[in-house]
Amino acid sequence: MKIHNPTWKRFAGLAAVTLAFVGTVGTVNAAATSLTGEVFLRPLTQTEITNYGLTNAVRSAGINNVALGEPVYLDAMVSISIASSNILGVTWSLPGTNKPPGSLAVLTNSPLGTNVPIYNPADQIAYQLAGRTFFRPDLAGPYTVLATITTTGHNGTNTIAPVTTNIATTISAATYLGIDACAACHSGGFVYQGVTVPSIYPTWTNTPHSTFFTLAINGLESSYYNASCIQCHVVGYDTNTFAITEGFNNTAQLVGWTFPPALTNSNWASMPSQLQNVANIQCENCHGPGSQHLYSQDTVGNTNAIAISFGAGVCAQCHDSLTNYFKVAEWNNSLHAQMTRVPSGSASRMPCVRCHTAPGFINYITYLGNTNAYATNYNYEAVTCQACHDPHNASNPYELRTSTTVALSNGTVITNAGAGGFCLNCHTSRNGSFSNSIVEYPQGQTTWNGGSAFGPHDSPQGDMLEGVNGVTYGQAIPSSPHANVVSDTCVGCHYQPIASTDPAFTLAGGHSTKMSYTNSLGANVDVTYVCTPCHGAITNFDFPVADYAGVGVIYGAQTEVQLLLNQLSTLLPYTNYVASGNYVPAGFVQTSISPLTNWPVKYLNASYNWQFVNNDGSHGVHNMAYTVGLLKASIADLTGGPSDDGLPNAWQISYFGSVTNAAAAPNAVNNSAGIPNWMMYALGLNPTAGFKVSGSGVIYFDGNNIVNGTTNTIAIYTAAEVAFNTQVGTTYQIQGISSLTGGWQNISTNIPGTGGSISYLTPTRNNLQMFFRVVHTP
């Protein structure tokens, strides 16, 4: 169901809890790549430990709140634009004044070799590694690590003097308290020094995280659950001799608990309460140990001693362990993981952060699209797990941050998109109705909430899928059925499951959201498993359907759409062509269209549709009928050529006054011979001409003149085409029979095989029915 309401208001029943409680946030990357450098608290996952043979390393979430004895990996990075030979080095230090009194913690060489890349896919694009270090905190309190990055360069004439950049990063060390301590403040209604503490605990209790260990230890998750499984399902599990976490394994030793010999429904109830307190996946699994947050530096609820991170490492510390836990590996190959830094870091780009950064999107959803709220956070982080999923709340499917009902920017409310409706929060035009561009852009007025720009924003897939917000020229342009037959729309196709034995595993489908991947030979391979139940055994998305472009050959459907885009682009003015408003078609294929405010409306309409289809990126797969209809309608409007119904607008108007006149429809009949408009147009005849058709169904004409009379001897009869594959060295003969009770008769002579397909035509006009067969020797 789609509700068109121009006065819609976005609503999401999500309490503003995520960012109201601002704690320590790990070192973040600036919006624009810093030439001077960045220091990054690097996560480490089980997959990386395995892949890089890191036998002396343990997992890390990459947050700056860790337990005593847990590892802290630090990476110094500089811009990829700096030649590696110009990186002179990194000096690390942890002075005694920068750590708790009595601490003996020291910086040492990182166990991560140079073969281990920078962690974030987005950072791998913008940065290169300059140096690494490592330490384990031994006492509770803050540790401030100093990094001095030195680089130099050459301006073509002289060597530039070395440049040093000093960066300080603070890590808080603490011990775990367990869920009881968190619930004491975060259960709702608790006010401290006039500030209401966010109520997170009640909704967390309904998430799968909150009960996973409970169900597993009682035998309700799997029959093979054992002691080796629990490290990710409890708080502070670290058997390393350095670790003094006061988490699950320390508490288990204290109370003498060991993993039960059998999984039964009484195991959880029989556990000591202090062990239950640090079991299941809790707040401290993601935010770090809470003892210093509870009280430190003369402050109750010290927000500088707890971590709130949007980084992927928080989830990856457990959800990246191939081949069973592969969602993070899929995400690493997604475009979400490689989100550009350009939109963040500037107040002039405030509407952009809502979709291009994790904190920006969370603020947008939390504060219901209030730009004054979500625009205040310009810290860069790619679109990570936390951007879409709220680990504190399972009210929505898959713990999504808002419901799957969404309003597109033109006011169309979408309720039929299933889980894919969530994707449409970003994957929509975001520039409002097409009329914003057509009407307001020429007047220099604001066309969207960030200024004046023409056309739909990049990625208007929601509008295209639902078949709305294109320039239709008053025509009823139909839509293909994807939006209605794929129950979860975007998710239903882009998140298709891929077997671990498939070459596409983690490279396509799932949280990669990709529908194709590059194989080991460098070739692009479409992944069509999800398509075959409806479309048959297709192996790529560019399969032939129809000659949409009208070129006389049926190419793949996506190729046909590109041909239409090319045709339309030749009819639009060249972007830089200005001659006192005398705009003429470019006459050549353009790969980008940038309309000017003084373009005539007909060009603005057509260029809007060109951008809409081009920016969608699917080349018709999302909605082929709507895509082709928009492009053909635009071409027809500029040329008077064929519209979406296949007949030229000019031809229809000349005979019937309007393309919307029912008599102008392709199948409408306006003559005594019963011949429809489409055939009359193809024959070059007046659709209202009166004439007779001979008994054989032949129309006699000379040029555009119908020839009436009885002396014509032309007639059309039926025939049968028999086509069959052949092999060289084999002789074939076609036989026929009018009834299966008689004897087969030879129809053809002996036909030698060619190794290819052979077609044979034989008349059938004197037969009521005919059966054929092909025999061969040998």
pLDDT in tens, 678-690: 888 877 788 988 7
pLDDT average, residue stretch 635-661: 77
Bridge partners for 151 per DSSP: 87, 163
- Residues 63, 317: Cα–Cα separation, whole Å: 11
- The band of 657, judged by pLDDT with boundaries at 50, 70 and 90, is confident
Residue 449: pLDDT above 90? no
- Write out the H or E segment, with its range, that includes residue 87: strand 87-93
Q: What percent of the chain has pLDDT over 70?
A: 87
Spell out the residues 6+ positions from residue 404 whose beta carbon is closer than 8 angstroms to its own.
396, 397, 417, 418, 419, 420, 421, 422
- The band of 709, judged by pLDDT with boundaries at 50, 70 and 90, is low
Residue 434 is given by DSSP the state: H
- Helices 601-616, 624-639: inter-axial angle, 10-degree rounding: 160
Least confident range from 152-161, 226-235, 509-518: namely 152-161
Q: How many CB atoms lie within 10 A of CB 83?
A: 12
pLDDT of residue 12: 26
- Residues 426, 548, single domain; the answer is yes
CB-count exposure of residue 168 (10 Å: 0-12, 13-18, 19+): exposed
Least confident range from 12-21, 195-204, 384-393, 765-774: namely 12-21
- Residues 89, 148, single domain; the answer is yes
pLDDT average, residue stretch 380-391: 95
Check: CB of residue 559 under 8 Å from CB of residue 542. yes
pLDDT of residue 691: 72
Residue 700: pLDDT above 90? no
- Kind of pairing, strands 757-763 and 195-196? unpaired
Check: CB of residue 425 under 8 Å from CB of residue 388. no
Residue 328: pLDDT above 50? yes
Check: CB of residue 246 under 8 Å from CB of residue 176. yes
The last residue of one of the domains, among 582, 616, 639, is 639
pLDDT of residue 702: 67
- Residues 198, 155, single domain; the answer is no
- Residues 114, 215, single domain; the answer is no
- Residue 489's SS3 state is helix
303 found inside a domain: no
- The band of 241, judged by pLDDT with boundaries at 50, 70 and 90, is confident
pLDDT tens string 450-467: 677 888 888 999 999 999
Name the percent of the chain in helix, strand, coil, to the closest 5: 30, 20, 55
**3-state helix/strand/coil string of 286-316:** HHCCCHHHHEECCEECCHHHCECCCCCHHHH
Q: Look over the chain and give the mean of its residue pLDDT values, rounded to a whole number.
A: 87
pLDDT average, residue stretch 393-403: 94
Task: Pick the closest to residue 379 from 362, 358, 365 (CA basis).
Answer: 358
- Residues 143, 217, single domain; the answer is no
> What is the phi-psi region of residue 358: left when phi exceeds 0, alpha when psi lies from -120 to 50, beta otherwise?
alpha
Counting the structural domains of the chain, the total is 5
- Residues 44, 149, single domain; the answer is yes
Residue 746: pLDDT above 50? yes
Residue 31: pLDDT above 50? no
- Residues 50, 147, single domain; the answer is yes
- Write out the H or E segment, with its range, that includes residue 79: strand 72-79
- Residues 466, 611, single domain; the answer is yes
Check: CB of residue 625 under 8 Å from CB of residue 469. no
pLDDT of residue 705: 67
Residue 564: pLDDT above 80? yes
- Kind of pairing, strands 295-296 and 745-746? unpaired
Residue 16: pLDDT above 60? no
The dihedral formed by the CA atoms of 398, 399, 401 and 403, expressed in degrees to the nearest 10: 60
Check: CB of residue 246 under 8 Å from CB of residue 70. no
pLDDT average, residue stretch 676-702: 76
- Residues 555, 668, single domain; the answer is no
pLDDT of residue 159: 66
Q: What percent of the chain has pLDDT over 90?
A: 63
Domain containing residue 689: 650-706
